[in-house]
Amino acid sequence: MLLPLVLSLPALAAALPSQLQSRQDNVHHIPLARRTIHRRGGFVDLDRIAKSAETIKYKYGLMSSEGIGRRASEATISVINQGGDTSYLASVNVGTPSQTLDVVLDTGSSDLWFATTACTNCPANTPEFDTSKSSTLNTSSQPIKLSYGSGNANGNLLQDTVTLGPYTISNQIFTGVTTLSDGLIDGSLAGILGLAFDSLAVSGATPFWQALVNAGELSSPEMSFYLTRFLETATSTTETDPGGTFTLGGTNSSFFKGDIQFNNIPSGFQASFWLQTVSGLTVNGNSVDIGSDADNIAAIDTGTTLLGGPTAAVTAFWEQVDGAQQLNGQNTGFWAFPCSTNVSSTLAFGGTAWPISSEDMNLGQIAQGFCMGALFDVTQGAAYVPFLFRSPSWIVGDTFLKNVYTVFRAGDTPAVGFAELAVGSSGTFTLLSLGFGLLPALRCLRCLASCSSHTR
């Protein structure tokens, strides 16, 4: 059971209705920075790609983690491999006086997580939240263990003022991490900000974005992404680049043209991940048999670089690409194809087919003349484990999302919309920095869940 916060729960409940600072500007465009995929001598780092795929499987309940318990103080959770996956970074301010920390924005998770100065083994140069310097911090002695695909993060629940762009929540619940397994983060990021629904929140807390929606702080219950593409060269050493724009409270019409094609979350699914139904797939002008709608539930995940799909569809896709070959070993589920081959593809939602750039379908060279494809079999080698929510069979990450303008709409009928990018809204774009990244699998810590129901 969760131990009491320093601020008693009744007092906290009374304080929460006024926790949001009102803004006159309730549509805000936040620039993003983008971390790049690094290669070894011009070749794809296969170890990092394998870890990225493993992370996705843990994230969506397709693989169990050894030794993960089911106590209320533990939660199965996965984090983006910052060294291998591309991440879109944002700056948030935490505490009083505020401390600026870079996090990853992830529509595939719901929790907020920061490394703290109490972390005994965080990588060198990790930005950390100094809990001793915040006069508004509320603490809990309840230990939290987050089990990741590639290790663990341990810490405690904390509560403090958090600001993103112009928006502030004065009693945001998050996890302050004190120990990390080697390799979970590379030292340049402080944590993760989840943008999925509260039903996924390990802490039971209302996610930052959802708190703003519930309080009527946004002009529209929407958040939108324009993500840029970075084409790394063999000699590139750049860690971050301009990443695009994240908009809270609406859309940014300068980045798209035409109508936004919205599709509701599939019938029978509660608001958890941002789910859609894949309605079609093509490669080089040929249709790929993907089966029925029931087999094609997709999570739209800004915190994932890759595009994952079910075995039959992925196999049928690559079998139509001349010279494509299945990989094995740690990269089982991936395919390689001749680098000279242009893989032209589309992915459809609600009957509308959206082209995927051949640049995005190509992760890079893995051997002389052969490149790795970004579409992989997410179920290959996976062993389904009990999960609070039905696991999606498609994981639609930035391989696809860089090719469209994406809108996540909450409200009584949650939906995801895509629009065609405006001319010039691809490649590079210069702005500031924001972010996303992490993911939960079990909703625990119900004590704060009941408390958070009074927050807005």
pLDDT per residue over 314-335, tens digit each?
A: 999 999 999 999 999 989 999 9
Cα angle, residue 371 at apex, residues 370 and 372 outer, rounded to 5°: 130
Residues 339 and 262 in one domain: yes
Amino acid 132: pLDDT: 97
Residue 15 lies in a domain: no
Residue 244 lies in a domain: no
Residues 258 and 300 in one domain: yes
The Cα 52–Cα 82 span in angstroms is 9
Residues 155 and 284 in one domain: no
Residues 194 and 262 in one domain: no
Verdict on whether the full-model pTM lies above 0.85: no
Residues 46 and 190 in one domain: yes
Which CATH number fits the domain that encloses residue 317?
Answer: 2.40.70.10
Residues 260 and 210 in one domain: no
Structure tokens given for 272: 């958890």
The Cα 217–Cα 23 span in angstroms is 7
Residues 324 and 394 in one domain: yes
The Cα 192–Cα 190 span in angstroms is 7
Residues 62 and 185 in one domain: yes
Question: What would the pLDDT profile of 58-89 be if each residue is shown by its tens digit?
Answer: 777 776 544 222 222 233 322 233 333 356 77
Residues 132 and 158 in one domain: yes
Residue 11 lies in a domain: no
* Residues linked to residue 261 through DSSP beta bridges, in sequence order: 418
The Cα 327–Cα 50 span in angstroms is 11
Residues 155 and 299 in one domain: no
**Per-residue model confidence as pLDDT tens for the chain (456 residues):** 222 222 222 333 333 333 444 344 577 787 676 555 544 456 788 887 887 787 787 777 776 544 222 222 233 322 233 333 356 778 899 999 999 998 888 899 888 989 999 998 888 888 999 999 999 999 998 887 766 555 677 899 999 999 998 899 999 999 999 988 776 666 778 888 999 999 988 788 899 999 999 989 999 999 999 988 764 443 444 455 566 889 999 999 999 999 999 999 999 998 999 999 999 999 999 999 999 988 899 999 998 889 999 999 999 999 999 999 999 998 999 999 999 999 999 999 999 999 999 999 999 999 889 999 999 999 876 554 444 456 899 999 999 999 999 999 999 999 999 999 998 765 433 222 222 222 222 222 222 222 233 333
Per the structure, the complete domain to which residue 300 belongs is given by: 249-421
Amino acid 433: pLDDT: 27
The Cα 193–Cα 134 span in angstroms is 20
Residue with tokens 């915190």: 303
Residue 14 lies in a domain: no
Amino acid 456: pLDDT: 33
Residues 359 and 442 in one domain: no
Which of the residues are catalytic?
A: 106, 301
